[in-house]
Structure 1
Amino acid sequence: MTVAITLVQGDITEQRADAIVNAANSSLLGGGGVDGAIHRKGGPDILSDCRRLRASHYGKGLATGAAVATTAGRLAAEHVIHTVGPVWSATEDRSELLVSCHREALRVAAELGARTVAFPAISTGIYRWPLDDAARIAVRTVRQAADPALFDEVRFVLFGKDAHDAFAAAVAEKGYEKG
């Protein structure tokens, strides 16, 4: 038995879930793309939690592939799980770091008791990871790492049609339904 994987084309900041995953930058202090949108819509409580994390365990920032949770502020979620995706490289295989983002986010979600988790397409924006490859890595990792005893649903919230199509192809690749 595997956890339900669903795909949504839309805005991750609009999702009702126990936890949403933020494709954060290592500073944890907001940025562009998904990170900026989550910080803007979630409000100052997220930034305040991130500043506390920086002042305690993450003084040098969050490492690529690691994950940590904060409040979700004004978002329709209980928690935001911040993870730093790798920058894609044509000369160096960084896929294990992208795998780690998904595994670590699920580990943190399980620790929080989050039964529903919404992911963006990590590293596919400004970090330039090719959509098809990122989708394949994300879906495969979730299938392997998401224990159905701990999670009811893992949702990929994809901003555009190209991302949605890439993830739909990855979900269908091994005969699984979209959910």
Structure 2
Amino acid sequence: MEITLVEGDITGQRVDAIVNAANSSLLGGGGVDGAIHRKGGPAILEECRALRASRYGRGLPTGQAVATTGGNLPARWVIHTVGPVFSPREDRSVLLRDCYASSLTVADALDAQTVAFPLISAGIYGWPVEDAVRQALSVLHAATPKHVTEARLVLFGADTYAVAERVAAGLR
């Protein structure tokens, strides 16, 4: 699987699936989640409500992933995953890595070949950007999906992109 770093807005990525850094309610929110729901339109929210009414009555657990339509987005599907809130007193990095691994598993089940990921938990959930990039790349580099041939890590802003490039260069 090819891994690429891209600076930009995940909602404009022309891929089979984009990953949403969702909150557990699946009903939209701020940051990446809000942008995906706004640009994707009401079809995404409708499917999220159906998921809440069936399998996820208490919300989507942290580290797990589930797919919906992409609605009006260029991507066919949105894979929703709930990242952990950063804690300096408790190591939650396994849950963060689970978000990437679970999302890849869902993408493979959809036969998606290209997937775009945001930097999960690095916004309002407070995960330090450098470590968030390291956690993401550790999972993506170790993954051996059947169908996914490209994983993009879409980084919002030049500063975040520069950090990601530096971390990626250190992992080579």
TM-score in terms of structure 1 length? 0.94
- Residues 69, 82 of structure 1: 8 Å contact kept: yes
**Root-mean-square deviation (CA), in Å?**
0.9
Matching residue within 126, 136, 139 for 2:137: 139
Aligned AA (2:135):
I
Matching residue within 146, 151, 164 for 2:148: 151
Matching residue within 20, 23, 31 for 2:18: 20
Aligned AA (1:171):
A
Q: 1:146 Cα deviation (Å)?
A: 3.9
> Aligned residue for 2:39?
41
- Residues 15, 76 of structure 1: 8 Å contact kept: yes
Gaps of 5+ in 1: none
The SS at the match of 1:27 is coil
> Aligned residue for 2:168?
171
Runs of 4+ in 1 over 4 A off after TM superposition: none
Aligned AA (2:88):
A
- Matching of residues 115-126 of structure 1 within 5 Å: 115-126=113-124
Gaps of 5+ in 2: none
Matching residue within 60, 63, 66 for 1:65: 63
State how far apart, in whole Å, the 2-side matches of 1:153 and 1:114 are.
9
State how far apart, in whole Å, the 2-side matches of 1:36 and 1:146 are.
30
State how far apart, in whole Å, the 2-side matches of 1:174 and 1:28 are.
33
- Residues 86, 94 of structure 1: 8 Å contact kept: yes
The answer as to 2:159 corresponding to 1:162 is yes
State how far apart, in whole Å, the 1-side matches of 2:144 and 2:162 are.
22
- Residues 121, 163 of structure 1: 8 Å contact kept: no
TM-score in terms of structure 2 length? 0.97
Which deviations, in whole Å up to 9, do the C-alpha atoms of 1:107-166 show, x marking residues without a partner?
Answer: 00000000000000100000000000000000011111243x422210011111122112
State how far apart, in whole Å, the 2-side matches of 1:55 and 1:144 are.
35
State how far apart, in whole Å, the 2-side matches of 1:151 and 1:112 are.
10
Aligned AA (1:169):
R
Aligned AA (2:147):
L
State how far apart, in whole Å, the 2-side matches of 1:99 and 1:120 are.
13
The SS at the match of 2:3 is strand
Which deviations, in whole Å up to 9, do the C-alpha atoms of 1:69-92 show, x marking residues without a partner?
Answer: 000000000100000000000100
Matching residue within 31, 45, 50 for 2:48: 50
Aligned AA (2:75):
A
State how far apart, in whole Å, the 2-side matches of 1:151 and 1:26 are.
25
Aligned AA (2:103):
A
Matching residue within 56, 80, 88 for 2:78: 80
Which deviations, in whole Å up to 9, do the C-alpha atoms of 1:36-76 show, x marking residues without a partner?
Answer: 00000000000000000000000000000000000000000
Q: 1:174 Cα deviation (Å)?
A: 2.6
